[in-house]
Structure 1
Amino acid sequence: MNKNASQPGIISLAILAMGGEGGGVLADWLVDLAEHNGHWAQTTSVPGVAQRTGATIYYIEMYPQSASPSGQMPVMALSPFPGEVDIVLASELMEAGRALQRGLVDPHKTTFIASSHRVYSMTERTAMGDGRVDEAKLLAGAQAAAKLFISADFAKLAEQTGSLIAPALYGALAASERLPFSRAQFEATIERSGVGVKTSLKAFAAGFDAAMQALHPSTASVADATPVALPLHRQVGPKLQALAQSLEGAFAPSAHEVIASGLTRLADYQDVGYATLYARRLQDMAQGLASASLAPSMAAEVLREGARHLALWMSYEDTVRVADLKTRRSRFARVSQEVSLNESQLIDIHEFMHPRLEEIADTLPAGLGRWLLGSTAGRAVVGRFTQKGRVVQTSSLRGFLLLYFVASLRRIRPVSLRYQTEQQRIEAWWAQALQLLPQHAELALEVLRAQQLVKGYGDTHARGWRHFEKLMTTLPRLQQLPDAANRLSALRKAALADDSGQALDQAVHQLAPA
């Protein structure tokens, strides 16, 4: 029973959820909970934008019938008012940020319950660089903005119990004791619904326990709670363990996690031999760092950023990679999960594909690819099949086998035109960064980060490469300036902010002459 809600009065709740998460069900449960336990209740909903699968705000108010004169129902609001909401529940971290932005959370009043998992917004997904909102800042802001903040990965708990996130949030709400109802009364509401009762109760219990853990954390020492970092060879698969063991002594443990991720990514992208090439390039950087006599913190940052961006560039996107990802079992499983496919349903997946002649040439062996690009007759013949895009049904046998064949070309990728071109560019970029390390470590770090511009394939890749080249041509001028690293960082951000290149051109033009 809630000790904090003993005084009669309207209790207001706002639920911010996305489509398919059960926000409407959660609102209905709260109304049922109130009405079966001596309260008036009212719920409304305000649909949001479709870019986040229909994000919606559900608003509930409840009022004890015993406090209502002559049994008259009170007048209740239809939407939440900033600073006047008692309880806010957010189904995801960006929805929590949306609640903060709208002023729904008040430090003197609001209990804020939010899931810590992420569903990236469209602006985050389409950003040319890393457009993700800083999760740590969001969590810190939520903690500071609320009277009581409860956070856990309720989506993971829901997945583990085979339920939606709504019952887990409902359990966390019960644990908060901000409503004048017992746990048994909360659970009785789920039982009365008659749908998915068993799994919902499991998710409810998991959410309740997670919230109790957040409210009453273990008194174990921090040292006991800190996980021990695994050695590098324990962070990779069996095929990579010998390679990882040979690298452990060359790199500080703080870099092992990102290096292990790089090795795993590149072995998956091509093979163990390709991961070995990645390791050899990192060893060259380790030698350069040792001779540069940098501060340990700077050396560690250069190594981590170098390992990360090198792995990203070496796993460049091409037609083979796209086909490989689209035909994986895990992809079909993920799509089925996203649409909540059940055993009695079938799903069709249609891909729109529009390969350009250049992408076809890039996939061919280098000599044949160059001939195709330089042959008028060859371009004319192949161009007839690339003028328009086509829809491929990946879920059909014919469409799957077509993409599966393209994915199988991974075996000849090392002799392809695109592979040779990208390796030459990577070597030049890597050598440039290593050359700058002894005298211009901060500038070398920004050169490594400039890899953010080189991504995607087709027009996106061509545009990013042009921007990258423009940045690299400014290096001789920048090295003469005292704030060279900051200048290059500003140019990179200008290129990421405007894919037309106008902002970058203007920023380059404003550079002081050497």
Structure 2
Amino acid sequence: MTMTTTSTTTQTRAITITIAILAMGGEGGGVLADWLVDLAEHNGFLAQTTSVPGVAQRTGATIYYLEMFDKASIPDARQPVFALSPFPGHVDIVLASELMEAGRALQRGLVNPERTTLITSSHRVYAMTERIAMGDGRMDSAKLMAGAQAAAHQFIAADFSAIASQSGSLIGPALYGALAASCQLPFTRQQFEDTIRRGGIGVASSLQAFAAGHQAAQQQLLPHNAAAATPVHEPAAPQLPQLPAVGPRLHAMAQRIQQDFRPAAQANLMAGIARLTDYQSEKYATLYLDRLTLLNQKAEASALGDEIVAEAARHLALWMSYEDTVRVADLKIRRSRFDRVRGEVKKSSEQLLDINEFLHPRLEEIADTLPAPVGRWLLKTNWARKLLGRFTQQGRIVKTTSLRGYLLLYAIAELRATRPYSLRYSHEQERISDWLNTVENLLQANNSLALQVVKAQQLVKGYGETHSRGWRNFQRLMSALPKLQNDADAAGQLRKLQTIALSDDSEQELLTSLKAQGLLQHN
């Protein structure tokens, strides 16, 4: 058990315990802090807690700071002076409700390898900067976990969020149980549990989550020799990913995949036909397989054939299920979405739930949804653009939990039947065909470059301005291909340019790089 001592003017030294809790809004961080104060005050300690509100990008992330003083160690006629915020390097215990919160604790210097016990949940709630990145902007969880383990004196990590969910509770009680199991506070398990009972709210579920968190932490604190005694088995031979199950309507396509396509690509293909049937129809999913059949045959002699076809299967499915107003409306009124929102807010049977969607389609997106001739006419007719622009200048809020709002989005979602005749559909199918032709033509000359062209599709995604920006960057890279092919490391160069495009929303860094290499064809 780690305790610090605070010097006084006498020879007596007061025993102090410092604790920092990093949690996001709605996770019970404040309740956890209150429990710890109550635990201390009912068992011979003085305690104080303060909180420092966080930022909206982390869903209201807050740091709660506690100090406990053992009354028995405080000199007569003296009162301890409590600090209002944690001091780097002088925190005994850090509790983090999510892995990035543990990273914030490391960044702030709250974790000291000589004294700090770090207890964190291993699950992730992605920050806004991670979500809006053009590419994969996620922090590497494995590196974050390794860094936390190396930085702490004692490290305990488990998916306490899942543990709490299974108990029908918030994550706070599960972390509280892990803290009790760590033996870093001079209190018994019974004393910890009594604090929950004194709270009087959600006692049964909180105690259940406490017990599960306690057990998960104890399993990590088993002696090292127990792990050493575990028999070691030879690693099994690598296996291909298990094919996802599909419904009866897709059995014929699934059989075609298993018969005609290489095993390395079959898992992606099965996921692709399921996605595209849900997006449009079985006919559309069949078009997906037809498009990949020629590529599958041409890649037969390629050293990278398996990877090229597997990656093409994934990226083609994503491109063919492009996001348009029809898709957005469809996803917002699905039962699974309503169920997910109810679960996230922990709606009870006595509560009413309203879901308000902010929608702001641009004129171009409206034209894309219309039949191709009508959409083209709208985009080139000034008076029609100005008239419609009056109604699209500002977004509107649609309450999907109301009959009117639901029916509005339902009507838009039903336009799926007309999607194959829309302006956007004709554009996307033409672009997809050009992309696949480019890949097929490169297979014989430079299969590494062909693979990177497949992966460059990652730029073409999203909705509205995000999609427009990605498509412009994709066009720039495809225009640079003729000159890039003469480079000995053409695939590596294209990969670097793609990374630049994904990391800069302004597009200027990519334009600068293309210009410097003499690859800029158009702006």
Alignment of structure 1 residues 4-83 onto 2, 5 Å: 9-70=15-76, 72-83=78-89
Residues 286 and 137 of structure 1: is their aligned pair in 2 closer, same or farther, counting only changes over 3 Å? Answer: farther
Q: Distance in 1 between matches of 2:361 and 2:455?
A: 29
**What TM-score, normalized by structure 1, do the two folds share?**
0.89
Residues 390 and 201 of structure 1: is their aligned pair in 2 closer, same or farther, counting only changes over 3 Å? Answer: same
Q: Deviations for 1:332-384, whole angstroms, at most 9, x for unmatched residues?
A: 23333334433333233333333333322322333443344455665566455
Q: Deviations for 1:235-289, whole angstroms, at most 9, x for unmatched residues?
A: 4445445433442466666655544443333232223333333344444444343
Q: Distance in 1 between matches of 2:406 and 2:3?
A: 59
Preserved CA contact (<8 Å) 1:446 1:488: yes
Cα offset, 1:491, TM superposition: 2.0
Q: Deviations for 1:23-69, whole angstroms, at most 9, x for unmatched residues?
A: 01101111111222222222221111122221111111223223333
Aligned-partner residue type, residue 76 of structure 1: F
Q: Distance in 2 between matches of 1:311 and 1:64?
A: 63
Aligned-partner residue type, residue 333 of structure 2: T
Preserved CA contact (<8 Å) 2:23 2:62: yes
DSSP 3-state at the match of 1:474: helix
DSSP 3-state at the match of 2:181: helix
Q: Distance in 1 between matches of 2:237 and 2:369?
A: 44
Preserved CA contact (<8 Å) 1:231 1:253: no
Q: Number of residues paired by the alignment?
A: 508
DSSP 3-state at the match of 2:218: helix
Aligned-partner residue type, residue 191 of structure 1: R
The equivalent residue for 1:277 is 287
The equivalent residue for 2:10 is none
Q: Distance in 2 between matches of 1:252 and 1:33?
A: 61
Cα offset, 1:500, TM superposition: 3.2
Cα offset, 1:88, TM superposition: 1.0
Larger mean Cα displacement after TM superposition, 198-207 or 6-15: 6-15
Q: Distance in 1 between matches of 2:265 and 2:45?
A: 57
Larger mean Cα displacement after TM superposition, 78-87 or 225-234: 225-234
Q: Does 1:188 align with 2:194?
A: yes
**Which of the numbers 203, 206, 225 marks the counterpart of 1:197?**
203
Preserved CA contact (<8 Å) 1:372 1:379: yes
Q: Does 1:266 align with 2:272?
A: no
**Which of the numbers 414, 423, 441 marks the counterpart of 1:408?**
414
Q: Distance in 2 between matches of 1:106 and 1:252?
A: 52
Cα offset, 1:15, TM superposition: 0.7
**Which of the numbers 203, 208, 214 marks the counterpart of 1:208?**
214
Q: CA RMSD in A?
A: 3.0
Aligned-partner residue type, residue 313 of structure 1: W
The equivalent residue for 1:323 is 329
The equivalent residue for 1:88 is 94
Task: Structure 1: state its 5+ residue gaps.
Answer: none
Q: Distance in 1 between matches of 2:237 and 2:65?
A: 41
Residues 143 and 272 of structure 1: is their aligned pair in 2 closer, same or farther, counting only changes over 3 Å? Answer: farther
DSSP 3-state at the match of 1:480: coil
The equivalent residue for 2:300 is 290
Larger mean Cα displacement after TM superposition, 366-375 or 131-140: 366-375
The equivalent residue for 2:475 is 469
Residues 500 and 90 of structure 1: is their aligned pair in 2 closer, same or farther, counting only changes over 3 Å? Answer: same
Cα offset, 1:192, TM superposition: 1.0
**Which of the numbers 357, 360, 370 marks the counterpart of 1:364?**
370
The equivalent residue for 1:447 is 453
DSSP 3-state at the match of 1:13: strand
Q: Does 1:431 align with 2:441?
A: no
Q: Deviations for 1:454-489, whole angstroms, at most 9, x for unmatched residues?
A: 122333322321221111100011111122223222
Q: Distance in 2 between matches of 1:290 and 1:221?
A: 43
Q: Does 1:355 align with 2:365?
A: no
Q: Does 1:307 align with 2:313?
A: yes
Q: Distance in 2 between matches of 1:451 and 1:221?
A: 46
Larger mean Cα displacement after TM superposition, 61-70 or 183-192: 61-70
Residues 140 and 271 of structure 1: is their aligned pair in 2 closer, same or farther, counting only changes over 3 Å? Answer: farther
Task: Structure 2: state its 5+ residue gaps.
Answer: 6-13
Q: Distance in 1 between matches of 2:201 and 2:359?
A: 41
The equivalent residue for 1:496 is 502
Q: Distance in 2 between matches of 1:427 and 1:481?
A: 25
Q: Distance in 1 between matches of 2:460 and 2:91?
A: 46
Alignment of structure 1 residues 371-382 onto 2, 5 Å: 371-374=377-380, 379=385, 382=388
Larger mean Cα displacement after TM superposition, 228-237 or 474-483: 228-237
Residues 505 and 195 of structure 1: is their aligned pair in 2 closer, same or farther, counting only changes over 3 Å? Answer: same
Larger mean Cα displacement after TM superposition, 228-237 or 80-89: 228-237
**Which of the numbers 257, 260, 284 marks the counterpart of 1:247?**
257
Q: Distance in 1 between matches of 2:468 and 2:365?
A: 11
Preserved CA contact (<8 Å) 1:168 1:206: yes
Larger mean Cα displacement after TM superposition, 30-39 or 271-280: 271-280
Residues 10 and 221 of structure 1: is their aligned pair in 2 closer, same or farther, counting only changes over 3 Å? Answer: same
Residues 22 and 257 of structure 1: is their aligned pair in 2 closer, same or farther, counting only changes over 3 Å? Answer: farther
Preserved CA contact (<8 Å) 2:360 2:392: yes
Q: Distance in 2 between matches of 1:257 and 1:40?
A: 59
DSSP 3-state at the match of 1:444: helix
Aligned-partner residue type, residue 38 of structure 1: G
Q: Deviations for 1:130-152, whole angstroms, at most 9, x for unmatched residues?
A: 21112122112112222222211
The equivalent residue for 2:338 is 332
DSSP 3-state at the match of 1:132: coil
